[in-house]
Structure 1
Amino acid sequence: MPAPARDLTDTVLVVTGAGGGIGGATVGLALEAGARVVAGDLREDAVDRLVEEWGPARIVPVVGDVREEATAERLVAAGVEAYGRVDSVVANAAVGFYGGLLDYSSEQVELMVDVTVKGTVWLARAAVRQFRAQGDGGDIVIIGSVAGLLIGGGREAVYAATKGAQVNLGYALDRELRGEGIRTTVIAPAGVNTPFAAADGRFGEEDPSCGPFMEPADIGGAIVHTLQQPRRMRTELWTMWSLAEAH
């Protein structure tokens, strides 16, 4: 007897950072599961590539900066306008820099806090407004990191602080919203082979694709699996590690 699963056919999913490794994998896997997707990213070329790959019938591109509350509102409104509703949102957009506390510029600190923390809060607020208007629950999935659980390595204090904020936001929203049928899940991966991992500086001249890390589709698969859980259950926090990593 197969495990019970919620059918995602024609459900509507908003994904931020959709042009990146995890975001792009999530979009593809959600579409394969039958969902319709609003793909948000700061880069127009990134969301255009998704439309070219998957076609315009079940994907709506939205270009915008998640640091602005209006972007979150436009993402949710795009789902409602195109498909009549929004069922789930994935707060995936994030920025991270590697180094000691004084190694970051002020602009880098502000960017990490604004994109990762504010961007997640704005999306959650826009989603909750729409879920309440629809009256039948919904899903908020936050892509955090094990760094937010104080499990990551050193030299990432500000990044860890932003990811810790996401974890605590997720726990608090679960307590606030679960009585309304709104589920909040934080998925906290360790190392993932993505351009994000390569760009944050922690690997120096090394290529993260050569390391013992997970692939973007591993995280995207976890997101889709979370959404497919029967509505009677929820996952608050899911930490994910490769077999080769230690903590």
Structure 2
Amino acid sequence: MPAPTRDLTGTVVVVTGAGGGIGGATVRLAVEAGARVVAGDVRADALTPLVDELGPERVVPVIGDVRDEATAQTLVAAGVDAFGRVDSVVANAAVGFYGGVLDMSADQISLMVDVNVKGTVWLARAAVRCFRAQGDGGDVVILGSVAGLLIGGGQEAVYAATKGAQINLGYALDRELRGEGIRTTVIAPAGVNTAFAAADGRFGDGDPASGPFMEPGDIAGAVLHTLQQPRRMRTELWTMWSLAEKH
């Protein structure tokens, strides 16, 4: 007898950072599962291939910067306008810079805080307003990192602080909202083979494409599994490591 799952057919999912590796993989898997998606990204050229591939009847692109609260409101409104509702949001957009606490500029630090923390808060707030208006619950999924649990590598103190904030936000939102049927999940992966992970010399001369890191589809699969859990279930925090990584 197969494990019970929640059918995503006809549900509407908002994904930020949809033009990146994990975001794009999440959009594809959600559409494959029967969902309709609002795909958000700051780069128009990153979303065009997704819409061309999956079709405008399944994917609505929204160009905007998650640092701006209005972008979150536009993303959710786009789902309601195009598909009649929003059932889930995935806060995937993120920025990270690798280096010691004095190695980054003030602008880089502000960018990490604004995208990773404020961008997540704005999306959660817009989602909660929508879920409450609809009256039948919803899902907030936050893409964090094991760095936020202080079990990542060194040379990432500010990034770790932003990811720690996301994890604590997820726990606190769960306590606040679960009585309304709104689930909050933080998925916190370690090394993933993405352009994001390869930036700034994080792996030295190593190439994450050569392994032994996880792939974007692995993380996207976790997002979809979370959304497909029966409504009676909640996953508060899911840490993910490749088999070869140590912590």
Specify the TM-score bucket, using the shorter chain as the normaliser: over 0.9
- SS across alignment from 1:154: coil
Answer yes or no: is the 8 Å Cα contact 1:97–1:201 preserved in 2. no
- SS across alignment from 2:201: coil
- SS across alignment from 1:160: helix
Amino acid at match of 1:187: I
Q: 1:63 matched to which residue of 2?
A: 63
Answer yes or no: is the 8 Å Cα contact 1:185–1:237 preserved in 2. yes
Q: CA deviation at 1:205?
A: 3.7
Amino acid at match of 1:171: Y
Amino acid at match of 1:175: R
Answer yes or no: is the 8 Å Cα contact 1:191–1:214 preserved in 2. yes
Does 1:43 pair with 2:43? yes
The within-5 A match list for 1:88-107 is 88-107=88-107
After TM superposition, what 4+ stretches of structure 1 lie above 6 angstroms from structure 2? none
Instruction: Give the Cα–Cα distance (whole angstroms) in 1 for the partners of residues 99 and 63 of structure 2.
Output: 30
Q: 1:129 matched to which residue of 2?
A: 129
The within-5 A match list for 1:1-247 is 1-247=1-247
Q: CA deviation at 1:57?
A: 1.0
Q: CA deviation at 1:109?
A: 0.2
Amino acid at match of 1:152: G
Worse-matched range after superposition: 171-180 or 197-206:
197-206
Give CA-to-partner distance per residue, 1:10-46, whole Å, 9 cap, x none: 1000000000000000000000000000000000011
CA, structure 1 residues 97+131, in 2 after alignment: closer, same or farther (shift >3 Å)? same
TM-score, normalization: structure 2?
Answer: 0.99
- SS across alignment from 1:89: strand
Amino acid at match of 2:132: R
What runs of 5+ residues in structure 2 fail to find an aligned partner?
none
Q: CA deviation at 1:80?
A: 0.2
Instruction: Give the Cα–Cα distance (whole angstroms) in 2 for the partners of residues 234 and 210 of structure 1.
Output: 34
In angstroms, what is the RMSD of aligned CA positions? 0.6
Give CA-to-partner distance per residue, 1:159-184, whole Å, 9 cap, x none: 00000000000000000000000000
Q: Identity, % of aligned pairs?
A: 83
Give CA-to-partner distance per residue, 1:187-227, whole Å, 9 cap, x none: 00000000100124312343211131000000000000000
Give CA-to-partner distance per residue, 1:96-131, whole Å, 9 cap, x none: 000000000011000000000000000000000000
- SS across alignment from 2:7: coil
The alignment of Structure 1 onto Structure 2 pairs a total of residues equal to 247
Amino acid at match of 2:219: I
